[in-house]
Amino acid sequence: MSVTKTLFGKVNDEEVYLYTIMNKSGASVALQTLGAGVHAINVPDRDGKLADVVLGFDNPADYINPDYGYQGLSVGRWANRIRDGKFIFEGTEYTTPQNQGTWTLHGGGRFSFTNWEVAETGENFVTFSRFSPDGEDGFPANMTMKIKYTFTEDNILRIEYTVLADRNTVANPTNHTYFNLSGVDGETVEDHSLQILADYFTETDASQLATGELGAVKGTMMDFTTLHKIGDRINEPFRACLGDVGYDNNYCLRNQSGDFALAAVLQHEGSGRKLEVFTDLPGIQLYCGGWLKRDYTVGKGTNLVTYRRGVALETQFYPDALNIPAFPLWTVKANEAFKTVTEFRFSVI
């Protein structure tokens, strides 16, 4: 195993670096200091041919345009939506930026769009770190978040988030990588098969905000309890899916224990590549890139970031759990490390 550091480019006059972890087989993961993000993942198909299975950009500045969908970036302090940019925590009301309509999306601020420090590297890991002062984007407590990425000989990318804060607070970090296991430019993810270990999803209103109700997947297009193609039902009209966006929904995982368990399986029959997602969090956002425009011209070479080109599987607490007491939430206690782990395990069918 080895880690190589290279200069990616400059954003706002700051140098952005890539750290590439490569294993003995030649498979690799490139991580970027900007947004403590995943820049590339090169893994083999069934014939051993390596291809990059994540979307992203050649130009680092494209990563900080929120319209391009947080490609590969770490997201926080609170992933997904907060209704009206407000929540009450331990008796005090906090106000977060209304960066989408009247709500907060993905923390509303700088978390994903700044250069993170590199705290540590080892032969198969890189740890990014960022200090967020009390009140940054409205959230309580001085906090340091560390994100440790480890890549193994058997093609497992492990992401460990550790939060340390000086008083009680909340955190909902996730990673916003868009996968396309085909490794083929221009192919959508509709041909990928997906299974999600969830019987319910969180119902949403016309603004895509959680209502607090849970909907049963059974008998609807939301049902991924068995492995089948994303494209089978993605175009059906459904109350929790807007226009032609398709899937952009939070699933309530069967595993609500906080233990680490399998959450989802994604596979692409053509290439034979398979991805299993493991997490200790109770929810996962299935987002198939339906808000990305068909005419975007940015990406990596001819591999463009456009409509339905990638699927994000964002492990998380449920959207707006800060305002919906019935939703599961474990909070950050003062001076106690809060940890959560997600793994992306690559293999072939």
CB of 67 to ligand BGC, least distance (A): 9
| Residue 18 Cβ vs ligand BGC, minimum distance, rounded to whole Å | 22
Phi, psi angle pair for 231, to nearest 5° = -75, -10
Q: Which is nearer to ligand BGC, 39 or 106 (CB)?
A: 106
| CA distances (Å), origin 202, targets 7, 136, 214, 248 | 41, 28, 5, 11
Residues 6+ apart with CB under 8 A from 185: 301, 302, 303, 304
Q: One-letter amino acid identity for 183? A: G
**Residue with smaller CB distance to ligand BGC, 285 or 340:** 285
Burial letters for 96-129: b for 16+ Cβ neighbours within 10 Å, e otherwise? beeeeeebbbbbbbebbbbbbebeeeeebbbbbb
Active site residues: 176, 314
Measure Cα distances from 38 to 42, 145, 150, 204 in Å: 11, 17, 12, 29
Neighbours of 342 (CB within 10 A): 24
Residues forming the site for ligand BGC (CB under 6 A) = 69-70, 80, 106, 248, 285, 287, 291, 314
Q: Is residue 139 exposed (0-12), middle (13-18) or buried (19+ Cβ within 10 Å)? A: buried
